[in-house]
Structure 1
Amino acid sequence: MTLTLVKAWTAAKERLKDAGIDQPAIDARLMLEVAADVTRTEIVTDPYRMLTAEQWATLDDYLTRRARREPVSHIIGRKGFWKILLQVNKNVLTPRPETEVIVDEVLKAFPETMAFNMLDLGVGSGTILLAVLAERPAAKGLGIDVSDEALAVARENAASLDLNNRAALLRGDWTAGLGDDSFDLVVSNPPYIASHVIETLEPEVRDHEPRLALDGGPDGLDAYRELAPEILRVLKAGGLFAVEIGYDQSAAVEALFRQAGASNVRTVKDLSTHDRVVTGVKNPLESLA
């Protein structure tokens, strides 16, 4: 079959729509861009360019996989986040717009020219760490993850963004082995979905994303119980933390951090007005006690 870009896009949209995919036009365009090696602009400005047989075969394969509810990010191997493009695969969570709330809070707190040292716990593909470092050239960071496969993805992303000289990536169990008062900033998007809820999630998440990065235990709060005191331990006095939460976990996570000694604890909503990030500081007066 020979098709132009515009006809290929239209056919792809219809096929995904028939398969019940939520955003068929966007998904079709993203896969067409990669399959035909074109940009979004080229699809619009050169709509009658012909696809080769190989390009159409690639797109056809992509569409078959998407109809089976494999995430687009896994199919094309990349996902945009904040202002960076990240490589992703089945070993890491697909970066989500909601997580950009953490980046936004961090950039408000740390001026562009400020030098600071950050820690990203459960770094995954490098999403938060690399987005912040890309915006703050004087900053350095450490990303820790228990998954060797996730760290391999993060290292590729750091290298492709030319940030590997400022981003260290290590395998570890949260903060184990890290010294007290070590970081100006600690961020984390830990697993926070209650175990029994996972089977009710959309197939793209339930069947294709790593359970290790999703399962937060019986009530979804296991990671925060461990992280709250440890984050306060490794933060410098006056240091900032920001952690992603589930939409209904604000009160519980805020309480855990207050109990651990955090000050100015508050919850920030995402663009959908759902509670999304709990943030606060380590009381600077503790160092004088």
Structure 2
Amino acid sequence: MKSRVSSIRELLKRGYEVLKNREIESYALDAQLLLGKVLNKDRLFMLINGDYKVPEKETEEYYKYLKLREDKMPVKYILGHCEFMGIDFIVKPGVLIPRPDTETLVEQALIQIKHNNFHNICDVCCGTGIIGISIAKLIEGMNVKCCDISSTACEVTAENIRRFSLEEKVQVVKSNLMEYYIQNEVKFHMIVSNPPYIKESSIPTLMEDVKNYEPREALSGGKDGLEFYRKITKESLRVLESNGIIMFEIGYDQRESVSDILAQNGFKNIMCIKDLAGKDRVIKGVL
């Protein structure tokens, strides 16, 4: 490790080299974000203060983070947070990292909630809680229940609920899908879910960042990728109010399959909404 005091410019240059050699496309941004975390400074500060001298302790910490990223740990895990819907969420290893694709699901849910004057919402397989918490943060008068089978996911969701002081509007429970709500006869106007939907056989083909670090149980949707759509749809019949709505995030090639699952379970007015990239992303059905 270098013992002399290095400048921001030197440290970024070294970070770019290290990450570029590992074929990390976002090498420049990642190096800037990691150094920014150490210095508690934004990217603009670093880009216009290249001569700023970084103390040895911070330099060592930066190299430690750089090594994690070099080993393909997702940068969001190293940073400990991630922006979603313009909101800064806590993220930790053991919980799926929020994707911009999921914003389409939240945006469509917000439209339906306002249009139908819904209040009671359930976020199934909540992960970090981004869907339910975003809804509660962006619309007044919400009563949102989040659930996940993962203890880590429930802990991170609880942290995010506290982070935004939403304890009155959002609660999280550990539950195998909606088992807890079925047992306690809780009813909802809407169920929203971004369940695991990748085919088991496809997981080895994912990027190293994803397959080596993100929780497999949050990725795998079973042999055909549809296991959780079937289970959640079936369970929803016991917790959805009449004329309630279910909304799923789906993989780009799952529109027909998930639409069929909803139709077979008595849902009507089934429609698919595309994301900003023009890919099928959200399926909606009315009970």
Fold match, TM over 0.5? yes
TM-score (normalizing by structure 1): 0.91
- Tell me if 1:127 matches 2:130: yes
Structure 1 portions without partners, runs of 5+: 283-289
Moved more, 268-277 or 65-74: 268-277
Q: Which amino acid aligns with 1:160?
A: R
SS at match of 1:208: coil
Q: Return the alpha-carbon distance in structure 2 between the equivalents of residues 235 and 137 of structure 1.
A: 21
Pairwise CA distance, 1:217: 0.8
**Separation of aligned partners in 2, 1:254 and 1:39:** 44
2:283 matched residue in structure 1: 278
Per-residue displacement from partner, 1:170-201 (whole Å, max 9, x unpaired)? Answer: 01111114256811221111111111111111
Shift of 1:239: 2.2
* 46-55 or 119-128, which deviates more: 46-55
Q: What SS is found at the alignment partner of 2:252? A: coil
Distance (whole Å) between structure 1 residues aligned to residue 26 and residue 41 of structure 2: 20
Counterpart residue number, 1:244: 249
Supply the distance in 2 between the matched residues of 1:238 and 1:43 (Cα, whole angstroms).
53
1:188 equivalent in structure 2: 193
- Per-residue CA shift, 1:37-71, capped at 9, x if unaligned? 11233224544332221111111111111111111
Relative distance call for 1:107 and 1:44 in structure 2 (3 A) is farther
Q: SS of the counterpart of 1:278?
A: strand
Match of 1:178, SS state, is: helix
Residue in structure 1 matched with residue 233 of structure 2 by the alignment: 228
Assess if the C-alpha contact under 8 Å between 2:118 and 2:189 holds in 1: no
**1:158 and 2:171 correspond:** no
Question: 2:54 is paired with a residue of what secondary structure?
Answer: coil
One-letter amino acid matched to 2:250: I
Deviation at 1:143, TM superposition (A): 0.5
The 5-angstrom pairing of residues 104-115 of structure 1 reads: 104-111=107-114
Q: Are positions 1:28 and 2:31 aligned together?
A: yes
What CA distance in whole angstroms lies between the structure 1 residues aligned with 2:160 and 2:229? 27
- The one-letter code sitting in structure 2 at the alignment partner of 1:263 is K
* Residues 124-178 of structure 1: per-residue CA shift (max 9 Å, x gap): 1111111111111211200111111211111111101111221111011111142
Secondary structure of 2:168's counterpart equals coil
User: Is the 1:101–1:276 contact (alpha carbons within 8 Å) kept by the matching residues of 2?
Assistant: yes
After superposition, the Cα gap between the structure-2 partners of 1:123 and 1:206, relative to the gap in structure 1 and judged at 3 Å, is same
Q: Secondary structure of 1:264's partner?
A: strand
RMSD: 2.0
Q: 1:115 to 1:195 in 2, by over 3 A?
A: closer
Q: CA deviation at 1:21?
A: 0.3
Deviation string 1:255-279 (CA, Å, 9 cap, x unpaired) is 1011111122111122222211111
Report if the CA contact (8 A) 1:120-1:141 is conserved.
yes
Which residue of 1 is the match for residue 53 of structure 2? Answer: 50
Paired residues in the alignment total 282
Correspondence for 1:285 = none
**Residue equivalent to 1:87:** 90
Over 3 Å counting, the alpha-carbon distance change for 1:104 and 1:6 in structure 2 is farther
Is 1:258 aligned with 2:263?
yes
**Taking structure 2 as the reference length, what is the TM-score of the superposition?**
0.92
Conserved in 2, the CA contact under 8 Å of 1:77 and 1:87?
yes
Q: What displacement does 1:31 show?
A: 1.2
- Of 235, 242, 267, which residue of structure 1 is paired with 2:272? 267
C-alpha contact (below 8 Å) 1:141/1:167 kept by paired residues? yes
Q: Secondary structure at the match of 1:236?
A: strand
Secondary structure at 1:238's aligned position in 2?
strand
Distance 1:253 1:3 in 2: 55
Task: State the shift of 1:5 in Å.
Answer: 2.9
How far the C-alpha of 1:11 sits from its partner, in A, is: 2.9
- How far apart in 1 are the matches of 2:249 and 2:24? 27
Partner residue of 2:80 out of 55, 77, 81: 77
User: Which residue of structure 1 lines up, in the alignment, with residue 104 of structure 2?
Assistant: 101
Provide the C-alpha distance between the structure 1 equivalents of 2:66 and 2:56, rounded to a whole number of angstroms.
15
Q: Is the 8 A contact 2:118 2:190 kept in 1?
A: no
Aligned partners of 1:25 and 1:162: how far apart in 2? 35
Using the TM superposition, name which of 224-233 and 242-251 deviates more.
Answer: 224-233
